Amino acid sequence: MKLFKHRPTEGYQTKTSIINRRKAILTTAKYTFFGLIGLRLLWLQVFQGNKYSILSDRNRFKEWKIAAERGLILDRFNNKIAENRQLYRIALIKGDVTDLDFVLTTLNKFLRLDNEIIEKTKTDFTKLRKFQPYVINKNLTWSEFSKINSNLFILNGVQPFISMERHYNYPYEFAHVLGYVGVPNENDLQNQKDDLFRTPGIKIGKLGIEKILNRELIGTPGFTRFEVNAAGRAVRTVEFIDGVSGNALKTSLDLELQKLTYQKLGRYAGSAIAMDIKTGEVLACVSTPSFDTNKFAFGITQPEFNELLKNERKPLINKFLSGQYSPGSVVKPIIALAALENKIVDQDYTHFCSGKIELYGQEFYCWKDGGHGRINLKDAIKKSCDIYFYEVARLLGVDRLAETIRKFNFGQTTLKDFDEEKKGLVPDTKWKKNVLGKPWLLGETLITGIGQGYILATPMQICKSIAEFANGGYAVNPTFYLDEKSKLSRMDFDAENIKIINEALVAATNEPGGTSYGSRLSGKLRFAGKTGTSQVTKLTIKDREDNANPNSREYKYRDHSLFAGFGPVEEPKYAVAVVAEHAGPGSRVAAPIASSMFDFLFKKRISNA
């Protein structure tokens, strides 16, 4: 067996030629494969180059939006009612924080954090993605802020920063009309088409004007474009683009009047509105008791929020839009107008009031024991005689009554955008049949005539209706803004009839015997108006006997005190509506509040002008 040759020179030629031939074939294979790689590169880099460039940039750049400064909110005289303040805060950057417990205990030494905040930070922190900042929910003072800054070298991953945050200068006074801002929740994010609300640190309007005009106020966020690495850490800042702060919003509100109104409503739960009778501009609208919107802007604590929810005087409810009340006697001008328009009565029509009547097997009382005697339309309004209006309502019938009441927008919203606004209720036979499934009772017509029973109205509707009387029968659209031109359009009422009622309203305040005579203004400028005392429950005989002392009843069964008026009498300019819940007779509580509002308007806004 000679497998191996002793000298490799033997058979040298043949082996070499075989090797050379095989090499040549191999070289061809190499050429082919290199060509293939070349083509592949051509495909990737030329034909798909653009696609991959985009993908590369998408990898590389991340944008961090920065919320713009929110627009200021001004009153009609350019006083700032909502502005922004510099706040000193700290953020923890996940991934940079090496030891969260250590960082928190160290921060605690400087800041004295609440346990609640520490626990919340710990739980929230675990949910974060890497390199996401977490803002600790505490505002630092300047000295705390500088202390943290000078100790940053031991605080890995702590990032102090200054931010502009919403501040309400009059948090209680304007709480319900301005609303407040807050961090968007899941719901807000889902209802949003673009990703504006996903801007880190952004606050959005949650209620009131802040919510309605959120888009105008929020501005355009700026952004920083970072180059990030695969782990998501920002490597360098590529560009920085400033945001555009939101537009300043000038409202129709009058800061001084708002403050005065809030103060006058004082301890009562209720609301008061002042409105320009020609433009519908709302000068003041207060709902009490109120709450601190600044607390809401920073995330109110659960116990504090629960406290507000539990309060039986409902501080969170916007009473001038969502409070629905039996209007009581403040509806009488409308009832009277309905009667005049339908020519059921004229201004000389008289009726005898004996203090009570018996109809359909029921007894109906006038508020005045012993009655008003024979009384005409003007005096019936002036003295708010219930018996007269029972009769008028009986003659009219509820459907004709309802028709006129509806013309004043009762049963409909007065504003476009306030989700919380309630419609109130104007009952008629059809409504009762459809909704309650019962036939209308005639007795119900009578009490509708004095604003009791099913009828419900919001203070805004009441104010709007009295403004429409005051301007001589032109429709008014309430607004909180100055730039909206509201066109006056005639309502289809006889101007003469409106005039008759207005004269009666003037008498009610300025002539002895009028229901709000006690609250009249003695100066040159006077106001006119109608009181209302709306019963919350049907009164028993015993209640009537105790009427002298309304406080004898449990709070929630006490009467609401209402007033709706306008002024000055000679040349009406303003309308005011006041509702004080469970406060007793309208003449005793609501009328004096309205009186002081008119007093302010006449002295500060008309005399000066």
Partner 1 sequence: MRETVKISKIFLLIEKFQKLDRSLIYMILVLGLISILSLYSIDKGQGTIYLKHLVRFIFAFLILIIVAFTHVNFWYRYAYHFYFLILFLLVVLKFVGVTAKGAQRWLDFGFFHVQPSEVAKLAIILVLAKFYNLVKVENTNKIFSLLVAAILILIPFLLVLRQPDLGTAVLILGAALGTLWIVGLNRKIFISGFIIVILCLPFIFAGMKPYQKQRVINFFDKERDPLGANYQVIQSKIGIGSGGIFGKGYLRGSQSSLDFVPENHTDFVFSHFAEEFGLIGSLLLLWLFFSIIKRVTLIGDQSKNNFSKIFCYAFAFNFFLYIAINLGMVTGLLPVVGVPLPILSYGGTAMLTNMIGFGIVLSSKLYNEDFI
Q: Which residues lie near partner 1 (CB under 8 A)?
A: 2-5, 8-12, 14-16, 18-20, 22-23, 25-27, 30, 33-34, 36-38, 40-42, 44-46, 48-49, 51-53, 55-57, 59-60, 227-231, 235
Q: CB-wise, 27 or 537, nearer to partner 1?
A: 27
For 130, counting Cβ atoms within 10 Å of its Cβ (0-12 exposed, 13-18 middle, 19+ buried), the class is exposed
Q: CB-wise, 34 or 240, nearer to partner 1?
A: 34
The least distance separating partner 1 from the CB of residue 13, rounded to whole angstroms, comes to 9
| Contact between 144 and 162 (Cβ < 8 Å) | no
CA–CA distance, 501 with 340 (Å, rounded to integer): 10
Q: CB-wise, 5 or 122, nearer to partner 1?
A: 5
Say which residue the tokens 């339908």 belong to: 342
Q: CB-wise, 59 or 354, nearer to partner 1?
A: 59
Q: CB-wise, 23 or 198, nearer to partner 1?
A: 23
Q: CB-wise, 26 or 436, nearer to partner 1?
A: 26
Alpha carbon of 438 to those of 231, 360, 395, 444: distances in Å?
Answer: 70, 17, 22, 12
Round the CA-based radius of gyration of the chain to a whole number and report it.
37
Expressed in angstroms, the distance from the first to the final Cα of the chain is 131
Alpha carbon of 357 to those of 24, 107, 369, 555: distances in Å?
Answer: 126, 76, 12, 29
**DSSP state for residue 206 in the 8-state scheme:** -
The least distance separating partner 1 from the CB of residue 245, rounded to whole angstroms, comes to 34
Q: CB-wise, 34 or 555, nearer to partner 1?
A: 34
Q: CB-wise, 27 or 607, nearer to partner 1?
A: 27
Residue ranges with strand state E in 492-553: 528-534
CA–CA distance, 177 with 322 (Å, rounded to integer): 12
Alpha carbon of 583 to those of 29, 112, 204, 591: distances in Å?
Answer: 102, 45, 36, 12
Do β-strands 80-93 and 350-353 pair in parallel, antiparallel, or remain unpaired?
unpaired
Count CA within 13 A, CB hemisphere, residue 575: 30
Q: CB-wise, 56 or 362, nearer to partner 1?
A: 56
The least distance separating partner 1 from the CB of residue 188, rounded to whole angstroms, comes to 30
Q: CB-wise, 14 or 191, nearer to partner 1?
A: 14
Q: CB-wise, 49 or 299, nearer to partner 1?
A: 49
CA–CA distance, 383 with 159 (Å, rounded to integer): 69
Residue 574: phi and psi, rounded to 5, are: -125, 150
Give CA torsion, residues 337, 343, 346, 352, to 10 deg: -90
| Contact between 465 and 404 (Cβ < 8 Å) | no
Q: CB-wise, 50 or 608, nearer to partner 1?
A: 50
**DSSP state for residue 419 in the 8-state scheme:** T
The least distance separating partner 1 from the CB of residue 4, rounded to whole angstroms, comes to 5
Contacts of 446 (CB under 8 A, 6+ apart): 359, 364, 390, 393, 394
| Contact between 75 and 90 (Cβ < 8 Å) | no
What is the enclosing helix (H) or strand (E) of 597? Answer: helix 590-600
| Contact between 560 and 554 (Cβ < 8 Å) | no
Q: CB-wise, 20 or 302, nearer to partner 1?
A: 20
Give CA torsion, residues 46, 51, 53, 55, to 10 deg: -150
Contacts of 318 (CB under 8 A, 6+ apart): 176, 177, 208, 287, 418, 420, 421
Alpha carbon of 511 to those of 515, 516, 590: distances in Å?
Answer: 9, 9, 18
Q: What angle do CA 35, 39, 41 make, to 5 degrees?
A: 115
Do β-strands 73-74 and 80-93 pair in parallel, antiparallel, or remain unpaired?
antiparallel
Count CA within 13 A, CB hemisphere, residue 56: 7
The least distance separating partner 1 from the CB of residue 50, rounded to whole angstroms, comes to 8
| Contact between 180 and 29 (Cβ < 8 Å) | no
Q: CB-wise, 6 or 127, nearer to partner 1?
A: 6
Q: CB-wise, 50 or 302, nearer to partner 1?
A: 50
